[in-house]
Amino acid sequence: MANWTDGPEYAPTERPAAFETPPMPPLEVPPVVPNPAAGAPVTRPVWQPPQAATVPLDALVPRSGLDPRSPTAPFTTTSSLATAGTAWGSAHSATGTLAHPGWTPDQPLATTAPVNSSATRPDQTSWPAPTEAAPPRALDFPPPTQPPVFPQRGTPDWFAPPVQGQRRPPDQTVTVAQMWQAATPGLIIVLIVGALLSPLSVVMLGVAALLAGRVRYRLTQVRRVFAWSFVLLAVVGALSLFNNDLDLEAAWSVLSGWAQLLCWAVPLIVLLQVGAGIRANEPPTRP
């Protein structure tokens, strides 16, 4: 705890009456650490030659039997073909005559037998005419396409089977007869009967839903159209029953009217779906 010896700000406001000896023994006095610089000269020492006689340095090293070399003498090297003379002399031939001058860097290389001599050149008129046909023209290959982009490691596409690099055929023209045959005439005829006869529209729509399994293109989309049609009829029938106080005759009349409208719309949607499948060259489903 701080006391008045730590500074005037810790002095008590009242003067103590007496000083008491603390109950704890005093701390040990740490030993004195010697100073490493004790006894060092104050001024920097100056080198002086030895006062007494000393042995020469060359007498301390045993002689190897070689003549001593003067440090003032230049070094000597052994010249060779690569180091003789100057750089110009190394790049030029030192030997040569007036007929055959020495080699220079800008001089062409000479061969042992002249290849352009007219004496060794055969007579071109004695050559036989070519019997083979003219060389084929260069093949017209398509320009290189962009390399395929591989999926990233660990993604779902990485574990999927590779996509077959087949060229997609162009879309073909679809006729009404093709759509009629692909949608099956039985399905379209049943829907036309339901569209013309309102009392039979609900029954004809149900029969058409059973015949929808014979459609040859986009069977899933066609079945989805019939499913939404029956959901709409179920909602309309439930609302008509509650509005007419559970009158079945009135509810059936309302339900037949909505079913007649669906018998007009469903065949058009089915024909459009089948035509889109044929145009996209999709494979037909098994009948």
Dump pLDDT digits (tens) for 15-36. 777 778 888 888 898 898 888 8
User: How many CB atoms are closer than 10 A to CB 200?
Assistant: 18
Please report, for residues 69, 143, 185, 231, 251, the alpha-carbon distance to residue 243 in angstroms, rounded to integers and kept in the order given: 131, 70, 38, 19, 9
CB 211 within 8 A of CB 186: yes
The dihedral sign for the CA sequence 154, 156, 160, 164:
negative
Question: How high is the pLDDT of residue 121?
Answer: 58
Query: Among all chains, which residue has been given the structure tokens 């005037």?
Result: 8
The dihedral sign for the CA sequence 276, 281, 282, 284:
positive
Specify the DSSP class assigned to residue 9.
G
Task: Please report the DSSP string for 18-71 in residue order.
Answer: -----SSPPPPPPPPPPPTTTT--SSPP-----SS----GGGTSPP-SSPPPPT
Question: How high is the pLDDT of residue 165?
Answer: 47
Which is nearest to 263 in space by CA: 182, 219, 218, 208? 208
Phi–psi pair at 70, nearest 5 degrees? -80, 130
Distance CA 188, CA 205 (A): 11
Residues in the chain: 287
What does the block give as tokens for 80?
């060779």
Q: Which residues of the chain have pLDDT under 70?
A: 62-66, 77-149, 161-172, 286-287
pTM listed for this prediction: 0.39
Question: How high is the pLDDT of residue 286?
Answer: 65
What does the block give as tokens for 165?
């690099």
The dihedral sign for the CA sequence 32, 36, 37, 40:
positive
What does the block give as tokens for 143?
């320009």
